[in-house]
């Protein structure tokens, strides 16, 4: 390999590790002192104006979450108590395309959900897949660069995408889903939604459980082939927007079954997989789905820009009874999403109707562009104060999270099996689904250098030899896995 320059921060300091966030122990949370992570995320959020850096093309609607099962033994969250009905807002989107992109493109779909609870806004900012391409937020700006346009050609680059994926084996699970039939949904109504990350439930006794959120479409899963999607795009670039809007207008309200997987806090470390790894699922045999309610969309926004384009959802928004986890991607998004909204919409974005909580809110935030709120108690503009200003409430404090280990940049690929669950998924596919997978991979690899293709085929082989053989055959490549050295 030729000599290459040393990667540095914007101030010129050399970077020792650009693959792993600094954490408190191998399973611990990300440390605020990781200035390289914060610089990368903050810079990415400011790369484009004014549309969203990712998820730029989207649709939104209001609805209701109704809880039908008692799960009070797991969480004290008011919105999750039996019989509770809570107003909701759901923004659905593609990930990579710009605002003018077609809806019917092969891409992950965003599933960003807000509940206007009586304890504040609770946001679940997920996707239509239970996993993601990366497990460390330090790599998020790098990954998104591969999904955007080449700086010289201004064209999408299949080479960049497959180069990154083939050098990041943790991406294989998500890549397989993306290249499967589920990578091209027919509409936003016909896909599942997932919180994807691991969150926590906290009950009235202060006990913590880990939790995964699932929203199963009651309209059924429906997908298009590449050819069918191309025909649709030729006629209408707004297929998903049109379908969602028109279905709600005619009273055909989309619905999803709201389910959770719940893991006792003490189960961490008992399985071969890390429960905080965004590239892994929790097997249902370990933690079965518990159906707890129904989400229904039943009202379209009156103004798209005001209510959908300016919607500012963030996984930082939680309520008592709901908590975060040491998931490194989630911890990065807690910062990154809120920061993106402060930049894109403004520091006072939470005062806009679509973002404003339905319950009273009391902060000491001051001034800033487009501030609408006034201070009902002008003498109490700092804290602590002697003038009746809002004060903290220790009753909503979360139980402590035990940590261990040294602060370091732990290699998230060491000892991590990134092939087992992908192989399991492949073996669940029918022959028809496998042939679609192989054909979609062939189409997506058009123009990609052979070296990168062979590197990716080696990952397919490690997941399942039949996966590799089928993809190689579709590509017309005589590939022998043993010819490629293991990494």
Residues with catalytic function: 55, 127
Characterize the bridge pairing of strands 407-409 and 322-323: unpaired
- Phi/psi class of residue 260: alpha, beta or left (left: φ > 0; alpha: ψ in -120 to 50)? beta
Query: How far is it, in rounded angstroms, from Cα 339 to Cα 45?
Result: 7
The vertex-139 CA angle with 284 and 457, nearest 5°, equals: 65
């Amino acid at each position: 390999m030729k000599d290459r320059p040393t990667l540095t921060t914007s101030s010129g300091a050399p970077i020792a590790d650009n693959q792993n966030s600094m954490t408190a122990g191998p399973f611990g949370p990300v440390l605020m002192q990781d200035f390289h992570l914060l610089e990368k995320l903050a810079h990415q959020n400011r790369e484009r104006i004014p549309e969203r850096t990712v998820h730029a093309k989207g649709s939104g609607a209001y609805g209701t979450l109704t809880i039908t099962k008692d799960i009070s033994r797991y969480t004290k969250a008011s919105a999750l108590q039996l019989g509770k009905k809570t107003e909701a807002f759901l923004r659905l989107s593609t990930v990579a395309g710009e605002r003018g992109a077609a809806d019917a493109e092969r891409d992950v779909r965003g599933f960003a959900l807000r509940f206007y609870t009586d304890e504040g806004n609770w946001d679940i900012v997920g996707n239509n897949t239970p996993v993601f391409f990366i497990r460390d937020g330090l790599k998020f700006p790098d990954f998104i660069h591969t999904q955007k346009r080449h700086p010289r050609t201004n064209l999408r680059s299949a080479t960049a995408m497959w180069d990154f994926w083939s050098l990041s084996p943790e991406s294989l699970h998500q890549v397989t889903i993306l290249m499967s039939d589920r990578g091209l949904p027919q509409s936003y109504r016909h896909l599942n939604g997932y919180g994807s990350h691991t969150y926590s439930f906290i009950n009235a006794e202060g006990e913590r459980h880990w939790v995964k959120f699932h929203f199963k479409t009651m309209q059924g899963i429906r997908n298009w082939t590449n050819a069918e999607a191309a025909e649709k795009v030729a006629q209408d670039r707004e297929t998903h927007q049109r379908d969602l809007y028109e279905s709600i207008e005619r009273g055909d309200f989309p619905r999803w079954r709201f389910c959770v997987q719940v893991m006792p806090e003490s189960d961490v470390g008992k399985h071969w997989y890390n429960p905080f790894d965004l590239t892994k699922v929790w097997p249902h045999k370990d933690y079965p789905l518990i159906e707890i309610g129904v989400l229904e969309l039943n009202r379209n926004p009156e103004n798209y820009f005001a209510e959908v384009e300016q919607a500012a959802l963030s996984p930082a928004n939680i309520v008592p009874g709901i908590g975060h986890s040491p998931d490194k991607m989630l911890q990065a998004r807690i910062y990154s999403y809120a920061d993106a909204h402060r930049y894109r919409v403004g520091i006072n974005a939470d005062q806009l109707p679509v973002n404003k909580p339905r319950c009273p809110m009391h902060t000491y935030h001051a001034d800033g562009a487009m501030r609408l709120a006034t201070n009902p108690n002008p003498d109490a503009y700092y804290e602590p104060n002697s003038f009746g200003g809002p004060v903290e409430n220790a009753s909503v404090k979360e139980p402590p999270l035990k940590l261990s280990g040294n602060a370091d940049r732990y290699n998230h690929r060491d000892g991590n099996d990134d092939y087992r669950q992908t192989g399991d998924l492949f073996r669940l596919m029918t022959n028809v689904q496998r042939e679609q997978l192989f054909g979609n991979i062939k189409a997506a690899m058009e123009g990609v250098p052979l070296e990168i293709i062979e590197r990716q085929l080696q990952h397919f082989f490690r997941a399942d030899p039949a996966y590799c053989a089928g993809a190689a055959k579709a590509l017309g490549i005589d590939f022998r896995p043993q010819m490629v050295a293991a990494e």
